[in-house]
């Protein structure tokens, strides 16, 4: 007897992680549904880039509209729900703190409510973040490190994280929270620092830009590849019991050294082009993040496969091709 394909619902399917996760699940034979927020401009470019725009079922809805989430749960008959949608850019969360609280924080609760009301047996994944560690309380952050968020985004994510745990403990939902450290790819939004750098490297190399203006280049991040990280999301939902996991590489690098890698790939020195612009400083900075992925290794048999050098090469190459096509 042929088993019916599993059905997944991804909020944030048009984002970096949503696109990679959709591809990953399609390759595993899932029927993939995605919550699609109405926008005036095109948001399907990532799905097209991966060649899957026609393979996913888009359902109109918004994180802040519970009724649309209930309908998305009903239409998709999802047995796995991945809540990846969010206002995810930290800097914007100081400009739009209430929108961020509503979408990134209460939005997660709305998705949990839709799951509880429509199919409480569905497994749920919450996209939590290392930004919750903020002003770090331990040199290497693990699942037991106390949180100290430093941005409205981090505070909103902490609400979603604790709601996920609360629904697991209150209603027995199979609800897991992945505390993911920064992960990047050629599909990363241009406002995030890695993509801002690789896009600028390509433009400078091709004579289309003269300098790159950045903020705090002494900040340190634990950067991995998004394509590796979506597998960890799926693995969490395949476990008998729901739990929380740190997903990271276990290595940290300054923005400065990340720039050096990217510029060096095309034979340039970052010092010749990077200009510090206080406009890009944040009201409160997360100076350093370094994750301890030991639990993910032990329980999920997951490790990050892509190092930063390989990641920057991949991103610079993709932007070189993209810029030359413009």
Positions touching ligand G4F (CB under 6 A) are 88, 90-91, 129-131, 181-182, 191-193, 196, 214-217, 219, 221, 255, 280, 282, 285-286, 289
Q: Which does 39 bind (CB under 5 to 8 A by kind): ligand NAP, ligand G4F, none?
A: ligand NAP
Q: How far apart are CA 63 and CA 18, in angstroms?
A: 14
| Residues in the chain, overall count | 326
Q: Considering the complex, state which of residue 96 and residue 166 has its C-beta at the smaller distance from ligand NAP.
A: 96
SS3 203: helix
The question of whether 229 is a catalytic residue gets the answer no
Q: Which does 9 bind (CB under 5 to 8 A by kind): ligand G4F, ligand NAP, none?
A: none
* DSSP states along 98-123: HHHIIIIIIHHHHHHHHHHHH-TTSE
Helical axes 16-27 vs 226-237, angle rounded to 10°: 60
User: φ and ψ at 244, to 5 degrees?
Assistant: -115, 140
Sign of CA dihedral 268, 273, 279, 285: positive
The single residue of 20, 30, 82, 153 carrying the catalytic annotation is 153
221 sits near ligand NAP (criterion: CB under 6 A): no
Q: Considering the complex, state which of residue 16 and residue 198 has its C-beta at the smaller distance from ligand NAP.
A: 16
What minimum distance in Å lies between the beta carbon of 110 and ligand NAP?
9
SS3 318: helix
For residue 223, what is the DSSP state?
A: -
The question of whether 129 is a catalytic residue gets the answer yes
Q: Which of 71, 66, 67 is nearest to 57 (CA)?
A: 71
HEC string for 142-202: CCCCCCCCCCHHHHHHHHHHHHHHHHHHHHCCCEEEEEECCEECCCCCCCCHHHHHHHHHH
Residues within window 243-302 making contact with ligand NAP, judged by CB under 6 A:
none
Q: Which two tokens stand for residue 217?
A: 């280049």
84 sits near ligand NAP (criterion: CB under 6 A): yes
What minimum distance in Å lies between the beta carbon of 93 and ligand G4F?
9
Instruction: Please pick, from the candidates 51, 144, 189, 211, the single residue that binds ligand NAP as defined by CB under 6 A.
Output: 189
Q: Which two tokens stand for residue 178?
A: 């992945």
The single residue of 79, 129, 194, 252 carrying the catalytic annotation is 129
Q: Which does 215 bind (CB under 5 to 8 A by kind): ligand G4F, ligand NAP, none?
A: ligand G4F
* DSSP states along 256-284: HHHHHHHHHHTT--GGGTEEE-GGG--SS
Q: Considering the complex, state which of residue 162 and residue 280 has its C-beta at the smaller distance from ligand G4F.
A: 280
The question of whether 153 is a catalytic residue gets the answer yes
Instruction: Please pick, from the candidates 8, 47, 63, 132, the single residue that binds ligand NAP as defined by CB under 6 A.
Output: 63
Pairing of strands 253-254, 220-221: antiparallel
The single residue of 31, 131, 245, 270 carrying the catalytic annotation is 131
Q: How far out from the chain centre does Cα 283 lie?
A: 22
Select from 78-86, 286-294, 298-306, 313-321 the region that touches ligand NAP (CB under 6 A).
78-86
Q: Considering the complex, state which of residue 181 and residue 270 has its C-beta at the smaller distance from ligand NAP.
A: 181
Q: Considering the complex, state which of residue 135 and residue 268 has its C-beta at the smaller distance from ligand NAP.
A: 135
Q: Considering the complex, state which of residue 11 and residue 292 has its C-beta at the smaller distance from ligand NAP.
A: 11
Q: Which does 282 bind (CB under 5 to 8 A by kind): ligand NAP, ligand G4F, none?
A: ligand G4F
Instruction: Please pick, from the candidates 9, 35, 155, 236, the single residue that binds ligand NAP as defined by CB under 6 A.
Output: 35
Q: Which residues bind ligand NAP (CB under 6 A)?
A: 11-12, 14-18, 35, 37, 39, 43, 62-64, 84-88, 103, 127, 129, 180, 182-183, 189
Active site (catalytic) residues: 129, 131, 153
């Amino acid at each position: 007897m042929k088993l019916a394909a599993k059905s997944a619902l991804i909020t944030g399917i048009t984002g970096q992680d949503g696109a990679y996760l959709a591809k990953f699940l399609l390759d595993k034979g899932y029927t993939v549904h995605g919550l699609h927020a109405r926008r005036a401009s095109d948001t399907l470019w990532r799905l097209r880039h991966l060649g899957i725009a026609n393979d996913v079922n888009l359902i109109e809805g918004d994180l802040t509209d519970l009724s649309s989430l209930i309908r998305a749960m009903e239409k998709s008959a999802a047995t796995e729900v991945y809540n990846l949608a969010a206002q995810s850019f930290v800097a914007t969360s100081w400009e739009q703190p209430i929108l961020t609280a509503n979408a990134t924080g209460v939005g997660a609760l709305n998705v949990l409510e839709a799951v509880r009301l429509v199919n409480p047996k569905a497994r749920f994944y919450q996209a939590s973040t290392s930004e919750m560690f903020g002003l770090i309380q331990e040199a290497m952050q693990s699942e037991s490190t106390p949180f100290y968020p430093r941005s409205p985004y981090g505070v909103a994510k902490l609400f979603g994280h604790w709601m996920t745990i609360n629904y697991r403990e209150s209603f027995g939902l199979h609800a897991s929270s992945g505390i993911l450290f920064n992960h990047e790819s050629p599909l990363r939004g241009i406002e995030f620092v890695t993509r801002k750098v690789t896009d600028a490297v390509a433009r400078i190399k091709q004579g289309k830009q003269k300098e790159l203006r950045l903020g705090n280049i002494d900040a340190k991040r634990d950067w991995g590849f998004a394509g590796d990280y979506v597998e960890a999301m799926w693995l969490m939902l395949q476990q008998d019991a729901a739990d929380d996991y740190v997903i990271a590489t276990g290595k940290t690098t300054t923005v400065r050294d990340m720039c050096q890698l990217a510029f060096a790939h095309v034979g340039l020195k970052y010092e010749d082009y990077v200009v510090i612009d206080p406009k890009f400083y944040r009201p409160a900075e997360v100076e350093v993040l370094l994750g301890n992925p030991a639990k993910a290794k032990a329980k999920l048999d997951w490790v990050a496969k892509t190092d930063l050098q390989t990641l920057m090469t991949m991103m610079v190459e993709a932007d070189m091709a993209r810029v030359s096509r413009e």
